[in-house]
Amino acid sequence: MIISFGDQRAEFRPWRPEMGRILASGFAFDSETTPIDPARPWIAPDYVLGAAFDGQQGYFIRREHVADFFMIHRDLQVVLHNAPFDLGVLHKLAPQIDVYGWVDRHGVWDTRLLHRLYVLATEGHTAGGSGESTLEHCVERHLGLSLPKDTVDAVGDPIRTSWGKWLGRSPQEIEPAYLEYLARDVVATWLVHRRLVELIGRQLAVSTNAFGYVDEDWLTEQVRRWGPLTHHVQLKAAIVLETVSAAGLHVDVERCGELTRASRAECQSALETLSRFGWQPGPGSGGQIQQILAEIQVRHPEQLIPRTDGGLFTTSVKELRGLDLAEPFIEAYTAYARAKKRLEFLEKMNRDVLHPRFDPLKVTGRTSSSGDLNAQNLPRDDAIRSCFVPSPGHVFVDADYKAIELATLAQACVRQFGWPSRMADAINRGEDLHTIVAARVADKPVDQITREERQRAKAVNFGKPGGLGDAALKQLAADNYDVHLTDAEVHELSEVWLDFFPEMRTFLGAANEDPGLAVAKTLCLTPQAHYEHTGEEWRRFQQDLYGCADQPDRMLGWMALRAFKEAQPVSRTGRPYSAETIDFFWSRLQAAVDLVPMQYRSAIMQRQPSPQLRRAVQTAVERHGVFTLTGRLRADASYTQRHNTIFQGLAADGAKLALWSLWRAGYRIVNFVHDEVLIEVPAEADLAAETQHIREILVAGMRAVVPDVRIDVEISTGTNWAKGGAGHVPAPAASAGPPLPPAGLAVHAA
């Protein structure tokens, strides 16, 4: 059979074992299967027929020949689209070929993941939406060709889902339309891979100005170790997360039912109290609560109830709970909201086993969860976690990296930016960063620090590295740690933190371009362009540091930001902007309207200034690329996103490598929550030995990307997932890392 696709023309014929080794280099492979079970999509379907293509010749591989074909070509690299699926199908059919050993040797490529990583590197998102990373989409985008997937056979059945009718049949018996469909897919996969490797190479070559870039030798080494844009890391995670979905989380249905009934009763009790104040959920409830909160505000003029941007009183439970007001309505309202949220979650847990789904790649490098439940975003409620139990005959081992993103932040300072790091010093001495920061703020010994004081420091330790300002840090402390800080307290915490870890002032100051210059660059606001548009003499801008007639001018950028914020902008001396200058700025912004989020585009076209529009424009123009230490590139990242990606992305990669090692060691993993792994081990196992082995694997996985900073892992075992629940026992603490340096000795870049 001759297959033509684009400018590629190749003959496809059946492969037989007596033909031996017929491919001399890497090849693309695609398998067609029986239909996927919609009720159990995590179960690999049965292999019907596959095809291999090396750029010149193609072969159809029958079920009974799969093991021989792959064993003969086991030293070659194979290209797949959606590799976890095809590898799962192959492993089910012929486990003896050890397809996952090929992954260990970096012998498997996934064009779907390469496409998603390339989009992240060029557009700043991961093409995770429906249809954004299918083979047909990749063919259209990268090759400019069409790959129809809705074709039908001679009797009108859709070819895509009708391969089951040919199970056990030879290629000679299969309708030619099916063979053509399979052959085109594998040729397309080969061509897409070749094109993506070329495009990624070009993108890396022109991204040397991205935040976090080290040098050419560094990037070459990262590509060698982890694949282009960390492809090999993401592939390992994608494979394991499919098995996590398949394993599922078991539910104690009886316990869940008890909690559901109790939460329902709690909701009803709170509603009865709220009704006495004249509030009930439903139509009109918004007006009711505004009136009630207004009355509360009158009774408590000494404490202002927060308001929304629209001037209404906040109805945020977190903000209301943070008020120091002994008001029965607020107590009942927050109790109702808490019980209602718990009830909504419990009502989803109506099965013995839940199978969450996972996306292996989000913009920071982290994963996400969906499906039967979002297993990575459970309520912070041990009552709910206690409903999750091991499968019969097993116990849970819950392993959690300790403050890992602080360790990866310190590692990035040392190895990526080449700075001495006091944070690395403190971690390597085994000190608890939250406690020592709290002790510095409170000016007292670390052994006298209270839990609340430590929580305050925790908020700044985790919030400040991402570039959060004081207002955002204050909100983070309230939302995530139930700590309510004054403006003065937030400022003091921030300053103490920056003094304690001086490398962080440098880190937060890096990649922070002057907003005025960034706007001028993006909108091409040069003195010459301004003069040509307005007739106003541009030479007055020469005195500016960046002033040059045909170069972007920061003063013009700052003036534009003011014009986008205020209806009647004036200079610092009080001189109104001319109508021509205002028109110049708006004209330039309208020409670049696509840079700004959709919700602001109408205001731009109608020239309606506002503080919100000004922030949106500044945020849009300040977006640049950022590299993780492992060599993954994220485009179009804001200031806070760039800094957050540095340490969160590195932690994600280390955790994914550890996840793979755990799975390859034979452990049954039932959930993965960023820096936490939930594992089932047989109840009769030696738990001390198992926990130590798990700890060693987790430390080794993370140390592959964090070699200079100590890694700590907290492990507990139990009969449910609630860490504070009955039957949950902490394993003996241990840690691993580089040899501890003498006190006061800074860690330097290798």
- Give the domain CATH number at 702: 3.30.70.370
pLDDT of residue 319: 80
As a 3-state breakdown, the chain gives helix, strand, coil percent values, each rounded to 5, of: 50, 15, 35
Q: What's the confidence (pLDDT) of residue 545?
A: 43
20 and 150 both lie in a single domain: yes
Tokens standing for residue 163? 């391969």
Structure tokens at 324: 């120091």
Average pLDDT, the chain: 91
Distances (CA, A) of 357 to 62, 82, 351, 550: 31, 15, 16, 53
598 and 730 housed in the same domain: no
H-assigned helices in 443-578? 451-463, 470-481, 487-500, 503-509, 515-523, 527-534, 554-565
Which residues make beta-bridge pairs with 399? 677, 715
Question: pLDDT at position 35, please?
Answer: 95
- Answer yes or no: is 327 within a domain: yes
Give yes or no: residues 288 and 187 share one domain: no
Q: At which of 326, 353, 380 does a domain end?
A: 353
- Residue 462 within any structural domain of the chain: no
Both 152 and 64 in one domain: the answer is: yes
- Is residue 55 located within the same domain as residue 167? yes
Element (DSSP H or E) covering residue 354: strand 353-354
Residue 225 lies in a domain: no
| pLDDT of amino acid 736 | 52
Domain of 170: which CATH number? 3.30.420.10
For residues 542 and 590, membership in a common domain is answered with: yes
Residues 192 and 72 in one domain: yes
Number of structural domains in the chain: 4
Assigned domain for 143 exists: yes
For residues 399 and 730, the answer to whether their CB atoms sit within 8 Å is: no
Hey, which bits of 71-145 come out as E strands? 78-80, 108-110
Q: Are residues 325 and 363 in the same domain?
A: no
Identify the domain boundary among 311, 338, 353. Answer: 353
Q: Which domain holds residue 546?
A: 515-621
426 is a domain residue: no
Instruction: Tell which residue, 136, 47, 58, has the closest CA to residue 92.
Output: 47
| Count of beta carbons in the 10 Å neighbourhood of residue 284 | 10
What is the reported pLDDT for 728?
59
Q: Which of 401, 355, 351 is nearest to 375 (CA)?
A: 355
- CB atoms under 10 Å from CB of 300, counted, come to 15
| pLDDT given for residue 392 in this prediction | 96
pLDDT per residue over 175-208, tens digit each? 999 999 999 999 999 999 999 999 999 999 999 9
72 and 154 in a single domain? The answer is: yes
3-state secondary structure 557-618: HHHHHHHHHCCCCECCCCCECCHHHHHHHHHHHHHCHHHCCHHHHHHHHCCCCCHHHHHHHH
Q: CA 646 → CA 214, 227, 521, 616, 701, distances in Å? A: 13, 18, 25, 23, 18
How far does Cα 333 stand from its chain's mean position? 33
What is the reported pLDDT for 246? 95
In a shared domain, residues 182 and 100? yes
Residue 200 parent element (H or E)? helix 176-205
Question: What span, in angstroms and rounded, lies between the C-alpha atoms of 88 and 371?
Answer: 20
In a domain, 93, yes or no: yes
In this prediction, residue 179 carries a pLDDT of 97
Q: So what's the pLDDT on residue 748?
A: 35
Do 399 and 272 share a structural domain?
Answer: no
Contact 131, 112 (CB under 8 A): no
- Record the pTM: 0.87
CA 746 to CA 723: how far, in whole Å? Answer: 36
CA 599 from centre of chain: 24
Q: Are residues 674 and 594 in the same domain?
A: no
The answer as to whether 632 is a domain residue is: no
Tokens for 498? 């920056």
Q: Which residues of the chain register pLDDT less than 70?
A: 511-513, 537-548, 724-750
155 lies in some domain: yes
- Give residue-wise pLDDT tens across range 320-336: 877 777 889 999 999 99
